[in-house]
Amino acid sequence: MPWSHHSHSGQFCGHATDTLEAVIQHAISKRMTTFCLTEHITRSDLDLYPEEISSGQNQASLSKVYDDFYHEARRLQKLYAGQIQLFVGFEGEWIREGSEAIVKDLLERYEVDTFVGSVHHVHTFPVDFDTATYHKAREVAGGSDEELFEDYLDAQLAMLKALRPPVVGHFDLIRLKSDEPDQSFKAWPKVWEKLVRNLEFVAVYGGIVELNSSSLRKGVKECYPQVEICKTFHAMGGRFTLSDDSHGISQVALNYGKVLQCVERAGITELWHLATVGPESSDTPPDSRFPNVRWAAVQVTELKEHGFWKQSER
């Protein structure tokens, strides 16, 4: 303990830093016990990021990047098996018609352990890229944050229904570039209604909502999702895990102390992490797509006793 179920490296992501192995070694040095390697997947040529365009990338080359990542991640998983439990997957992208097929094709071609289901785009604009791009999406939505939040939540529900991701990534990412990123979603009743609708769907199919610390390093006061959203999902019997969404060693387990404060304010008493299903284990994998893994619970009181929290960086 603790863990992260969402990470990236500069070796396979143009907006990250450090090699995949360096990231793993740093996680080990932080006394982390579970770390998921979840690189980005390929995207349509219409949805490339500036650094990908400038480096001559395209959908085919990004597919090759993921293939290289997968095999390197599996190599490192074996190499460091005695020091940390690594799992290999990806972070899905839900952008436009065709996104579902890309994700499902990956699930057919690669035997992954898990994946993170995320929405970064609304009306095909990456809403967490920069404020100007967020504003473009907002204009298409009708001109207000409220309308864009509604469209984001509708896109998220479509992703959830199509993919049923085992880990739901940065649930309320849409607030990052909004005019008031720390405002309560309850300020807009229709937005809150759709948010609760999505949480209920996740709770029913058994998805895990990540407590993602990346919002804190970007200047937002609480982790993704906000404490009031966590309280609502917790009341539904929903389950949570920890993720740093790191893009290099400097972000591994960054701000976990502040995430723990959010956990306590939300009244969450247990957190879940991915674990293996042993050959003689009586555990039944909760998701037939991932027969080699299961989810295990740890009490927050037990988690707080781990040596990780005694280190200077929390």
Domains and CATH numbers, the chain: 3-310 (3.20.20.140)
Specify whether the CB–CB gap between 273 and 296 falls below 8 A: yes
Beta strands in 30-152 (DSSP E): 34-40, 85-91, 114-117, 121-122, 125-126
What residues contact 6, with CB distance under 8 A and at least 6 apart?
A: 36, 38, 91, 116, 167, 169, 210, 212, 243, 244, 245
Whether residue 282 is predicted with pLDDT greater than 60 in this model: the reply is: no
CB 1 within 8 A of CB 306: yes
Identify whether the C-beta of residue 37 lies closer than 8 Å to the C-beta of residue 7: yes
Angle at 304 between CA 298 and CA 309, to 5 degrees: 130
Six-digit token string for 133: 């791009």
Q: Is the pTM of this model over 0.85?
A: yes
* The residue to which tokens 């959908």 are assigned: 59
Using 50, 70 and 90 to split pLDDT, how confident is the model at 52? confident
Of the candidate ranges 10-14, 162-166, 182-186, 263-267, the one whose mean pLDDT is the lowest: 10-14
**240 bridge partner residues:** 209
